[in-house]
Amino acid sequence: MDEVHDLECGNVRSSRNLTEVAPLATAPSRFPAGFLWGVSTAAHQVEGGNDNNQWAAWEQAGGIKSGDRSGQACDWWNNAERDFDLAREMGVNALRLSVEWSRIEPQEGQYDAQALRRYRQMLEALHQRGIRPMVCLHHFTHPLWFEQKGGFLRYDAANRFEGFARHVVSGLGDLCQSWVTFNEPNVYATLGYVLGEFPPGKRGQILTAVRLVNALARAHTQAYRAIHDLQPAAQVGWAHNFVVFQPADPRSVLDGWVTRLVNELFNESFVRLIEQGKLAFPLSLVSGDLNDVKGVCDFVGLNVYSRFHVAFDARLLSQMFARVFVPPHVPQGDHGVEQPYGEAYPAAIRLAVERVARIGKPIYVLENGVPDAQDRIRPWLIVNAVQELDRLIQAGQDIRGYFHWTLTDNFEWSEGWKLRFGLVALDPKTQQRTMRNSGRLYGAIARSNCISPEMVNQYFPAGIEPAPD
Ligand code: FCB
C-alpha cells in the first residue's frame, strides 16, 4: 500500500517500508524527449576567492561549525571548465549555476565588466559542451555593501536587486533563457533569523523571518518583470526548498499542532505568496496582501532532500516549540558537525510536486541529493528519485527536469567541507577529482533518458539497498 498524506497539515503516515527499493520495471522507463538531466551548483560553493560577500565575513567571524573556509572551493573562477568537462563526460544536458552579485557589483552602482565576461565564458563553455545553463541570481550570498545597508529588509532592496538582475540579463541574456531569481527564500529566512546557522546569525526572530520572506517575494516579482522586459521569452522561477515534516507521535495533538506550524512557516509561506498573494492567518497580519506577487513565475523549482520528525517541546520558545529531529533506523547520509542532515527521503519529491502543482506551472526538481562521501546511499537515492519522477510524469505531472545536487563536492555552507554531496569526489587541497560510481550511474540515466535494471546492475552489482543508520 502507498502512503497516505495530508499536505495541508504536513502529516505523512506511511505504511510502506521506505528503505525498500521499489523494483524497477523490467522494461526501461523512458522520460519525455527534451527532459533535462542536470546538476546544480552555487557560486560561493564552487568559485573560490569570494571575499566581498556576507558569507566570507561570516566565515571569518567563525560562523562555520567546522571552522572551515570556502577558500579556493572548486576553483571555478580560474577553471570551471575542468568540471564542465566532467559534466559532459557524465552526459548531463543541463547545469544550474549562480552568479555572484559581489563580483558583478562589488560596490553599489559600480559594475565589474571583467566579472561579467568571465560568466560569459562559462556559459559559452557550457554551450560548447552541449549543456544548457540555468542561471540563479541569488544563491544565499550578496555583496557586503548590500548587507551593511540592511540586506533585503531595507526599504529599497527590491530596486537594488532589480538593478543587478537587469545588468546580468543584459550581459548574459543571449546565452541563457532560464533564470532562477532566488534560491530557497525559506531556508535563507529560517537559518538566518530563526536558527542562527546562516548570516546574520539571528535566533528566534520569527516575525523578521516572515518579513524577509515577504521582501524576497517582492524582490522576486520585480526581478521577474525586469527579466521579461529585457527578454520576453525568458523562463523565470525560483527554487523552493521543501521538507517533509511528520509529527513524532501521530496521536499527540501538540505534535500535530507544532508540525502544522512548522509546515506553514517553512513549506507554505513563499509558495502561498506566489499562489494566492497572501499568507495564511495569522501570518497574514504581519504581511498584508501582496496581490502583485500572485502567479508571478513561469516555473516552480523544487529543492527536495529530506524528512524530519517534529515534537512539541515547551522549552524551545525560540523555535516555536518545535524539536525537529531524525529518528533512528532510517536511511541517512553522513552526519553534519552537530546534527544529522535529515532522513534521505525520495518520496518527498512526490509530496513536493503534488503541493506546488496547484500553482499550475511547469516544475523542475532543481536540487536533490545526499551527503555521502562513500557513495553508500546515493545510488539508492538516485534510483528512487528517478522512479518517483517517472511515476509522477506518468500520472500527468508537468515535470521538465531533474538536477542533482551536486556535480563536484563543494563548500557546504555552515557545515564547510564536512559534507560531500558530489557525483564527483573532490580533494579541495590538491583539487583532484574522482568520479563516484553514482556519477557513472546518473550519467547513464541522463545519456539514455531512461532507467533500467541493467544500468543499476552494471554499476552496483551488489545491489543498492542502504544499510539503515
Ligand atoms: C540546499 C542549498 C545548496 C546545498 C544543498 C545541500 O539547501 O540550496 O546550496 O547546500 O542544500
CATH number at residue 256: 3.20.20.80
Contact present, 41 and 98 (Cβ < 8 Å): yes
Atom of ligand 1 nearest to the CA of 371: 6
Answer yes or no: is 25 within a domain: no
Q: Is 198 contained in some domain?
A: yes
164 Cβ inside 6 Å of ligand 1: no
Are 256 and 11 spatial neighbours (Cβ–Cβ below 8 Å)? yes
In a domain, 464, yes or no: no
Are β-strands 363-367 and 399-404 bridged in parallel, bridged antiparallel, or unpaired?
A: parallel
- Strand 399-404, strand 36-40: pairing: parallel
Residue 56: inside a domain: yes
- C-alpha of residue 198 to centroid of ligand 1, in Å: 12
403 close to ligand 1 (CB < 6 Angstrom): no
Is residue 468 a part of any domain in this protein? no
Cα 336 to middle of ligand 1, angstroms: 13
Going by alpha carbons, the residue nearest to atom 5 of ligand 1 is 405
198 in contact with ligand 1, CB cutoff 6 A: no
Query: How many CB atoms within 10 Å of residue 418?
Result: 18
**Gap from CA of 44 to ligand 1 centroid (Å):** 11
Kindly give the distance from the C-alpha atom of residue 254 to the centroid of ligand 1, in angstroms, as a whole number. Answer: 30
Determine, yes or no, domain membership for 14: no
Instruction: Give me the tens of pLDDT residue by residue for the chain, a chain 469 residues long.
Output: 333 333 222 333 333 344 445 566 666 678 999 999 999 999 999 999 999 999 999 999 999 988 999 999 999 999 999 999 999 999 999 999 999 999 999 999 999 999 999 999 999 999 999 999 999 999 999 999 999 999 999 999 999 999 999 999 999 999 999 999 999 999 999 999 999 999 999 999 999 999 999 999 999 999 999 999 999 999 999 999 999 999 999 999 999 999 999 999 999 999 999 999 998 877 787 777 788 999 999 999 999 999 999 999 999 998 889 999 999 999 999 998 777 789 999 999 999 999 999 999 999 999 999 999 999 999 999 999 999 999 999 999 999 999 999 999 999 999 999 999 999 999 999 999 999 999 999 999 999 999 999 999 999 998 898 765 5
Selection from 37, 63, 239 nearest residue 135 by Cα = 239
pTM of the model: 0.94
Q: Is residue 42 part of a domain?
A: yes
Q: Is 241 in the pocket of ligand 1 (CB under 6 A)?
A: yes
Looking from the CA of residue 421, the nearest atom of ligand 1 is 6
Q: How many domains does the chain have?
A: 1
**How far does the centroid of ligand 1 lie from the alpha carbon of residue 197, in Å?**
13
The secondary structure of 205-217 as a DSSP string is -HHHHHHHHHHHH
Q: Is residue 15 part of a domain?
A: no
Range of the domain at 216: 36-459
